[in-house]
Homo-oligomer: A and B are copies of this chain.
Amino acid sequence: MNGTASVTGTAATEADTFLSKAAGILTDYVASRDDRAALVTRLAAPEELYRCFDQLGTSLRLGDNENPVTSEQLLAAMQVALNFSTRTCHPLFFNQLYGGPEPVGIAGEWLAVATNTNAHTYEVAPVFTLAEIEVLAKMARVVGGAYAQTHDGLFVPGGSIANLYGMHLARNRADPEFKRRGAVGGPCLVAFTSAHAHYSYMKAATMTGLGSDNLIVVPCAANGSMFPAALEAAIVAAKERGGIPFFVGSTAGTTVLGAFDPLPAISEICERHKLWHHVDGTWGAAVLLSRTHRDLMAGCERSDSLSWNPHKMMGLPLQCSVFLTQHEGILKRTNASGASYLFQPDKLHSELDLGDKTIQCGRRPDAFKLWFAWKAYGDGGYESRLDHAMSLARYLEEKILQDGHAFVLVHPRSYTNVCFYWIPPSMRPFCLERATESEKQELGNVAPRLKSHMQAVGDAMIGFQPLGSWPNFFRIVFASAWTLQVKDLDLLLKRMDDYGTQLYSE
């Protein structure tokens, strides 16, 4: 029997042997997640990747007469795919607001994949449906306030879509004819967010027909948090122009600086003007799980809705994104289509079907892995994880502040985002406030150059970006830093300084 038949399902035993071998490769990969000696990335140019797969006889290109390959070739291709994929599980992957998931989350997700069902009806997903109901109820209690009394919610495909849900529900509340009539002929609705908010608010505005002109961007303090007085002024100005303010999208944990908007002040303004307050807590909401740090989210319980991405700070595989609202039943009232082929009221337990609440049809059972991980860690496990990430961020910030020479802090930290410059020796001492434009421009080239070098050698992967008048700076985020230690950070800064010094002495 050749390898081809072995994976096509016609020879079950062979296909199962294949899957077992594949699982072995993958569990070995996961087991190596804490290996400091492994490269964070072996970033290859596209040509190199094409060549590697060609050599296996499993070209990345799919030909016009594509022939099956053997299972041995497939296993080899898996290994190459792993070798060249960025190791988000590496302790030194700081590039984005996610990291390597832990084995329990992976197991939960693999189970969902193996059962391959949809979280749309109870009859095809009874366990996953109840897990979703229970996890959402727990999260609502963690939020507290009105959410602990009544709530509604869903697991959705990503934080951007969660923010879209917030704007969508708000609009349907503000304009009950909207669903039927559409926007044309209706009120000119106006939404508000901050200059540091995630771009998904803007995408939601352009997708939903609000228009970017009607999403007012409110200025922020230097730390990235919205000025509430500026918000109120913008609301008043919009009303004077004849607009109908309906929605404020605030942020708890901005993408770059990790800033928390002043939620109580924003809620107060929203209550006074009768606007829907949605909190983008995709990044920051997990801090609710730490008794020490949950004050950062104070006031979130007064919001109308919020987003929370457990795949960011809770060690779970992508995607695991939650939309929560304190308004019970609003999702079904807004989104239900009552499709008679799917949500038949005359089938068993149909009252538990979750699918008609959504803007999707099929929907992955993303709740199960979170339920599973929460059972494994308990509240205490998540609390210590959060506290550990916060303590690493504090350590790194203090270390950079103490240095102030090779490393300069961009701005005091709010959360686990630590933003800083590495300063080439010839530019030291560097003072951002007093820098000329040409010095800023020169500094803006440093992070890309140093990052490229670190990618070439496979060292820590750290994002960079410009922000306002600040040229490109590094951002280290602690998202999934369970096993990271302060000595890792000491060594990392040492190496960065060495790489940079070497690069800038050439």
Contacts and interface: CB of A to CB of B under 8 A. Distances in A.
A30 B13 CA distance: 11
Given A125-B86, A340-B465, A376-B8, A359 B106 contact: no
Contact of A22 (B43, B107, B375): B107
Interface residues of A, number: 171
B158 A128 contact: no
A183 B184 contact: yes
Interface string A182-196: 111111110000000
B181 A62 contact: no
A85 interface: yes
Contacts of A344: 448, 464-465, 472
B364 A318 contact: yes
A386 interface: no
Interface in A125-178: 125-128, 130-131, 134-135, 137-138, 141, 157-161, 164, 168, 171, 178
Interface in A293-328: 311, 315, 317-319
A123 B180 contact: no
A68 B27 contact: no
Given A183-B211, A341-B256, A348 B455 contact: yes
A50 interface: yes
A182 B374 CA distance: 42
A381 interface: yes
A472 B376 CA distance: 44
Contacts of A487: none
Contacts of A126: 43-44, 46, 49, 84-86
A272 interface: no
A20 B22 CA distance: 12
Given A183-B184, A256-B341, 7 more contacts: A7-B376, A12-B483, A29-B115, A43-B126, A74-B104, A160-B362, A347-B452
A229 interface: no
